[in-house]
């Protein structure tokens, strides 16, 4: 499964909002430095979907706020 994700780093609180089009907006406390925001994003998504962090990959947009995330739900 693939999801479009818009990341907002340096937010006051962590949260995930699902948009009407099925994409996600993720608010992260981490700054976008040295991959910290990407690590926090993967951790949050793993908790949301009840998966391990290795089941979630950033397919595109590593250094962008717009990312394409691949989630291996192992059907």
71: left (phi over 0), alpha (psi -120 to 50) or beta: beta
Closest CA to 26 of 40, 5, 3: 5
Closest CA to 14 of 2, 34, 28: 28
Q: Which two tokens stand for residue 15?
A: 């949260």
> pTM of this prediction?
0.92
What does the pLDDT look like over 14-71, one tens digit per residue? 999 999 999 999 999 999 999 999 999 999 999 999 999 999 999 999 999 999 999 9
């Amino acid at each position: 499964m693939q999801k479009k994700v818009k990341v907002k780093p340096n937010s006051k609180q962590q949260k995930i909002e699902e948009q009407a089009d099925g994409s996600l907006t993720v608010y992260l406390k981490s700054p976008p430095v040295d991959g910290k925001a990407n690590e926090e994003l993967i951790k949050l998504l793993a908790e949301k979907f009840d998966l391990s962090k290795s089941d979630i990959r950033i397919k595109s947009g590593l250094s962008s706020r717009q990312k394409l995330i691949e989630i291996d739900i192992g059907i």
